[in-house]
Amino acid sequence: MDNLWLYLVIGVGILAVGLGIGLNLLIGSRRKPTIEREAPPVRPAPRPAAPTEELERRPPAQQAPPTPVETAPAPEAPAPEAPVEAPAPTVERPESARGRLQRLRARLARSNTALGKGLLALLSRGHLDEEAWEEVEDTLIASDLGVEATTELVDSLRAQVKIEGTTDEATVRGWLREDLLRLVRPEMDRRIASSRVGDRPAVILVVGVNGTGKTTTVGKLARVLVAEDRDVILGAADTFRAAAADQLETWGARVGVPTVRSDKDGADPAAVAFDAVRAGIEEEVDVVIIDTAGRLHNKVGLMDELAKVKRVIEKQSEIDEVLLVLDATTGQNGLQQARVFSEAVDVTGIVLTKLDGTAKGGIVVAVQRELGVPVKLVGLGEGPDDLAPFDPEAFVDAILE
Buried (b) or exposed (e) across 371-386, using 16+ Cβ within 10 A? Answer: bebbbbbbbbbeeebb
355 annotated binding-site participant: yes
215 annotated binding-site participant: yes
292 annotated binding-site participant: yes
209 annotated binding-site participant: yes
**Cα→Cα distances 105→153, 385, 396, Å:** 23, 14, 10
Q: Which amino acid is at 57?
A: R
18 annotated binding-site participant: no
358 annotated binding-site participant: no
348 annotated binding-site participant: no
11 annotated binding-site participant: no
293 annotated binding-site participant: yes
**Cα→Cα distances 352→31, 47, 114, 203, Å:** 140, 99, 18, 20
Helix boundaries (H) for 228-349: 244-254, 269-283, 300-313, 332-345
d(CA 349, CA 340): 14
295 annotated binding-site participant: yes
Q: Which helix (DSSP H) or strand (DSSP E) does residue 233 occupy?
A: strand 232-237
DSSP strand E in 21-109: where?
A: none
214 annotated binding-site participant: yes
Q: Which amino acid is at 335?
A: L
Sheet containing 321-327: give its strands across: 259-260, 232-237, 287-292, 202-208, 321-327, 349-353, 375-379, 387-389
d(CA 60, CA 72): 32
354 annotated binding-site participant: yes
Q: Are 309 and 273 in contact (CB under 8 A)?
A: yes
Candidates 401, 399, 370, 324; CA nearest to 143 is: 399
Question: Binding site: residue ranges?
Answer: 208-215, 291-295, 353-356
Question: Binding site for GTP: residue ranges?
Answer: 208-215, 291-295, 353-356
